[in-house]
Structure 1
Amino acid sequence: MRVDDELGSVVVDGNGNTVYVFAKDEATPGESSCVGKCAETWRPVSADGVSADTGINQVLLGSIDREDGTEQLTLAGKPLYTYAKDEPGDTKGQGYQKAWYAATADGARTGVSRPALGVLDSPKLGRVLQDKNGRTLYLFTKDTPWPMTTACDATCRQKWTPSAPVTAADAEAAGLSPEILFTFTTPGGTEQESFNCWPAYTFNGDKKPGETNGQGVNGVWFAIKADIPGSDRGKTVPAAGRNQY
C-alpha cells in the first residue's frame, strides 16, 4: 500500500507501481475484459509468488486464468493491472475513460464515493454485503427475524454497531431486490436496517475495508450474503458459510 497525496491509500506492486481495477470487469466476474492491445497498455499483475503487505487482507487475494494461459492476480475478485505510462509513484491511469481506477485495499475504486450498500467478493465467504465505509455487514443468529427483535444488548453493542438504513435505490444499485429491506426501530430508538428481516451490524474488530473478522464469532455472528433469494420474512437466513439456502 502507498498513501497518495490526492487519492489516499492505494495498492501498489512490489516495484511501487500503482495497481488499478477496470470497471468493465465488474460485469464479467471471474474473467478479464482487458485483452489484446488493452493488455499491452494495462498490464495484468501476475499472481505468481505474490503475498500481501500489512495493509491488505491476504484472504482477499486470488487469481484468474487469462486467455494466454497466465494467472492474473485478483483482489476481492477484481483483476489487477498496472499502467504502462506510470512510473513508480504515479497515478496517471486514475479515472482514464471513466473506467480505470487505483485499487483500494478491498479492490474498490479510489477517488469514487462508495455506495451506501456495497458488495465484497470474498474468496473465502463469497459475495457479502458492506456498508458505505466498506465494513462488512453481519447478522446475529440470536436475533428474531419476524417480528424483528434484537438480542444485542448494550454490552453487545460495544462491539457490534447497528447498521444504518439504506434506500430501495441503494439495494437495486447493489443488485438486491428492495423487497428484502426491512427497517425497524431498536429498543434504543435508533433505526436499523435488516435484510430479509435479519438485523444488520458492523463489527468494531474490522479495522479496514474488506476485513471479515466478525465471521463466526462465538458461532453466532455471520457475514450477510449478497445473494438473497427474495423475502420470506426471515425463514431463509442470509448467513455466509452456514449453508442456509
Structure 2
Amino acid sequence: MKTSWRSASFVVGAAAVLALTTACGQESTSSGVGSQNVGATAAAGDYGSVGAGASASPSNGYGADGQQGAATQTTPAGKLAVTDNAELGKVLTDGAGLTLYRFDADTAEPPKSNCDGDCAKTWPPVPADDATAGAGIDKALLGEVTRADGTKQLTIAGWPAYRYAKDTKAGDVAGQGVGGKWFALAPTGKKATLASLPGLSVKNDPKLGKIVVDKNGMTVYRFIKDVAWPDPISNCTGSCLEKWPAVAPVAANDTEGIEKKGLMGFTRPDGVKQMTVDCWPAYTFSGDTKPGDTNGQGVGGTWYVMSPDGKPIGAPKK
C-alpha cells in the first residue's frame, strides 16, 4: 500500500463526531459539525421497487412504471444467443436480443420460481416453449420449471429465466443488480458480473460528468456537513450510516483517475474504516440499486455525488 494510514479514532465532544488523528491539512469548506441528514429511505422490495430519488409509478410502484415494453409473459424465447456487453461480459439474450435475468430468491436445485404477482409483471417469466440454444450455448443447460399458475418457464442450468419490463430494446441491461438480487444471466446460468474495476475509479455520467464509483460500479457521494481539515470528520452516524454506507479504504494504487492528494483511510469511533478523497469521507447510497444510479444526488440539500478531486458535484457554492 503506497499511502500510509496513520489512523486512530476519538470522540469529539457531545456530538460524537468521527475523526482521524492524521491531519489532512486541507482547507475545510464545510459548515463544520452539524446535524445528520439521513435523506430518503432505501429502495424497498426485491423486485425493482422504485428507489429513493425516483418517482414511483401510480400504476404499480414496482419499477416497471406501468410499461412492459417489448417483454411480456407470452413472448416466445426463440433462439437464445450470447451477446457481448462492455460491462458485463457475455450475456444471455432471447431471440429478440432482450437480456435474460435470474433472481437470487429462486432456487436451481430443484428449480423453483419465487417471483409471482406484481413481481412477475415487472419481471416477465420467459416461456419454455420454443426456446432453442444458439451458438455458444450448451443445449443441455436448457430446461423448464412449472410455475404456480401451471405455465412452463425456461430455466438455464436450473435457474428460472426472466426478462425485465424496463428493457425495451435489444442490448438493454437496466435490470442488472436491481434490489441486489436480480442479475443478467451468463450463458452458463451463472450471474453475469461487472468487469473488474479498481477500488475507486471515474465514470462519465451523462448528466453529472466525471463522478467517482466504487469497485462495484456504485456511485460515491459526499456529505457537505462533514469536515476534512485538520482531520476527516464524518457527521453521518447511526441510522444515517445505514442509509449512506461508508466506502471501505482502498490502496492508492487500487484507484484510477482519482486525485491522489488526501487519498487515505481512517478508522471511525464505531470501528468502521472509511475511505477519503481529498480527505473528505466517501459514501455510497442504499437507494442506488444498481451501477449507474445517482438517486442520492441532492438529497436533503446535503448529499452530492463526489468528483475525482473530492468536490461535491452540483452543491451550492458558498
Which TM-score tier does this pair reach, normalised by the shorter chain? 0.5 to 0.7
- 1:192 maps onto 2:274 in alignment: yes
- The letter for the 2-side match of 1:140 is F
Partner in structure 2 of residue 238 of structure 1 = 311
Q: How big is each residue's C-alpha offset from its partner over 1:155-195, in whole Å with a ceiling of 9 and x where there is no partner?
A: 10120101011111123xx1234223031111211210011
Partner in structure 2 of residue 16 of structure 1 = 97
- 1:176 maps onto 2:292 in alignment: no
Partner in structure 2 of residue 165 of structure 1 = 249
Mapped partners of 1:160, 1:241: distance in 2 = 18
Would the aligned equivalents of 1:129 and 1:224 in 2 still touch at CA under 8 Å? yes
- The letter for the 2-side match of 1:125 is L
Q: How big is each residue's C-alpha offset from its partner over 1:27-74, in whole Å with a ceiling of 9 and x where there is no partner?
A: xxxxxxxxxxxxxxxxxxxxxxx8967538xxxxxxxxxxxxxxxxxx
Partner in structure 1 of residue 218 of structure 2 = 135
Change (3 A) 1:243 1:8: same
Q: Please tell me the root mean square deviation across aligned C-alpha atoms, in Å.
A: 4.0
Partner in structure 1 of residue 175 of structure 2 = 55
Change (3 A) 1:243 1:175: farther
Find 1:210's aligned residue among 284, 288, 292.
Answer: 292
Would the aligned equivalents of 2:221 and 2:282 in 1 still touch at CA under 8 Å? yes
Partner in structure 2 of residue 233 of structure 1 = none
Would the aligned equivalents of 2:261 and 2:277 in 1 still touch at CA under 8 Å? no
Partner in structure 2 of residue 153 of structure 1 = 237
Mapped partners of 2:82, 2:268: distance in 1 = 40
Instruction: Give TM-score, length-normalised by structure 2.
Output: 0.41
- Displacement of 1:17 in angstroms is 7.5
Mapped partners of 1:140, 1:179: distance in 2 = 19
3-state SS of the aligned residue for 1:130? strand
- Displacement of 1:119 in angstroms is 1.7
Partner in structure 2 of residue 119 of structure 1 = 202
- Displacement of 1:149 in angstroms is 1.0
Higher helix share: 1
Would the aligned equivalents of 1:238 and 1:244 in 2 still touch at CA under 8 Å? no
| Number of equivalences | 156
Q: How big is each residue's C-alpha offset from its partner over 1:65-116, in whole Å with a ceiling of 9 and x where there is no partner?
A: xxxxxxxxxxxxxxxxxxxxxxxx999xxxxxxxxxxxx9xxxxx6632221
Q: Which runs of 4+ in 1 moved over 6 A?
A: 1-6, 11-14, 50-53
The percent identity for this pair of structures is: 42
Would the aligned equivalents of 1:17 and 1:90 in 2 still touch at CA under 8 Å? no
Structure 1 residues not aligned, in runs of 5+:
19-49, 57-88, 92-103, 105-109, 229-236
Mapped partners of 1:90, 1:208: distance in 2 = 18
Structure 2 residues not aligned, in runs of 5+:
1-70, 72-79, 100-168, 177-184
